[in-house]
Amino acid sequence: MLSSERQLVSFLGERFSWSAPGVRLGIGDDAAVLAPPGAPIVVSVDASVDGVHFDLGYLTHQDVGYRAFQAAVSDLAAMGAEPLAALSALVLPRQLSSDAIDQLTAGQALASRETGCPVVGGNISRGGELSLTTTVIGRALEPIQRRGARPGEQIWLVGDVGLAAAGLSFLRLQHSRRARGWGSSSGASARLLASEAALAPCVDAWRRPRARLAEGLALVGRASAAIDLSDGLAADARQLADASGVRLVIERERLRAALSPALWVAQAQLRRSALRFALSGGEDYALLATGPSARRPDGAVPIGHVELGRGAFLDEGDRLTLLRGGFDHLKR
C-alpha cells in the first residue's frame, strides 16, 4: 500500500533506483547532488498546490508566490548550498485573473531577489487547480546530507520554530470568530485587534517564511547532518534520525529556552502550548542540524543530543517520550 508519503518515497526510491556516474546523491535527502566536472550541483523541486499547501482565504496571491519560492530554496539552505537558479512551473486555472497572476509572480520575483536565486525558465499550463512547482539548482562544494549525525554530537536549531503554526492557528480562529459574528461585539472585536498586533510576528512567519541560506552556509564544515523544518520539528528530527541511523533526543528545557518570545505570546493568547506549536507545527523553514559542540556556529542553538539507537525522543526530565505525529502531505 502506498498510503503514506514515506511509503511512497521509499517505493519511488526503489522504482528509480538506477543511477549514473554524474549522480553523487539521489532520492531521499533535501536535494539531490550531481557531480559533473567542476563543483557539485544540488537540485530539488517543491510543489505548492491550492487547497493542500495553501488557502487563499488566509493568503494573498503574492504571499502564495513568495512562500512557495522560499520553501523550495529552503532545501538548498539545508544542504549548505548557494542558489544558482530556479525554474517555475505554474498550473493556472482559466478563471485566475491577470491581476492574480501578476501578484503571484510578483511574490515569486521578490523571493527570487531576496534569495539571490534567479528564475531562468519554467512551464505554464492550464489546469483545474492553481499550483506552483519550483525547481531550485544550487552549488555546494560540501553538501550537508541528512545521514551524517553521530552519537555524542549536539542537536542544533537554527531559526525559530512554531511561529508559523501559531500564526496559521490564529488566522483560523479569527476566521471562525468572524464567521460566527463575534466581531459584532465591540469587546470581542477589541480583543481580536489586540491579538492581531501581538500575533503579527507569528502570522508573518507563516505568510512570509525565509529560506535560511546564510545560516545553511555557516553550517558547512561544522554540521554533520542537516534538514529543513518544513513538516515540524518532531517529524523532521525523526527523518534525520532515520537517515543517520541514530537516536535524536531533544531536551525539553533547552528547546523551551530556544523558543522565540513571540511563541510565548501566542501560547498566552491562543491558549495552546508553545512546545506543541514548536514540535508539531510545520512550515517554519528553520534548520535542524547536528554536529560536535566545539564546532557549533553562532546562531545555532543546542536543543539536545545524538545517541546510539533509533527514532526521535523528547527528554522531559523524568521521562523520555517518543516523538510521533508531524505532517504527512498525503494524509492531509
Q: Which three three-digit cell numbers place residue 304?
A: 539536545
Per CB under 8 A, which of residues 46..75 are in contact with a second copy? 46-47, 49, 51-53
Among 38, 187, 261, 317, binds a second copy (CB under 8 A): 38
Interface segment toward a second copy; rule CB under 8 A; list 44-52, 191-199, 232-240, 303-311 = 44-52
User: Cβ distance 32 to 138 under 8 Å?
Assistant: no
What's the CA gap between 177 and 170, in Å, rounded? Answer: 10
217 binds a second copy, rule: CB under 8 A: no
Between vectors from CA 291 to CA 229 and to CA 156, what angle results, nearest 5°?
A: 40
Per CB under 8 A, which of residues 242..271 are in contact with a second copy? none
Among 62, 74, 103, 105, binds a second copy (CB under 8 A): 105
Interface segment toward a second copy; rule CB under 8 A; list 33-41, 165-173, 179-187, 318-326 = 33-41
Q: Which three three-digit cell numbers place residue 298?
A: 553562532
Identity of the residue, 16 or 264, whose beta carbon is nearer to a second copy in the bound complex = 16
Interface segment toward a second copy; rule CB under 8 A; list 29-37, 180-188, 208-216, 232-240 = 29-37
Identity of the residue, 5 or 204, whose beta carbon is nearer to a second copy in the bound complex = 5
133 binds a second copy, rule: CB under 8 A: yes
Identity of the residue, 6 or 272, whose beta carbon is nearer to a second copy in the bound complex = 6
What's the CA gap between 30 and 285, in Å, rounded? Answer: 12
What's the CA gap between 71 and 16, in Å, rounded? Answer: 25
What is the torsion angle, in degrees rounded to the nearest 10, for the CA atoms of residue 237, residue 239, residue 242 and residue 247?
0
9 binds a second copy, rule: CB under 8 A: yes
What's the CA gap between 8 and 119, in Å, rounded? Answer: 29
What's the CA gap between 78 and 92, in Å, rounded? Answer: 30
Identity of the residue, 192 or 243, whose beta carbon is nearer to a second copy in the bound complex = 243
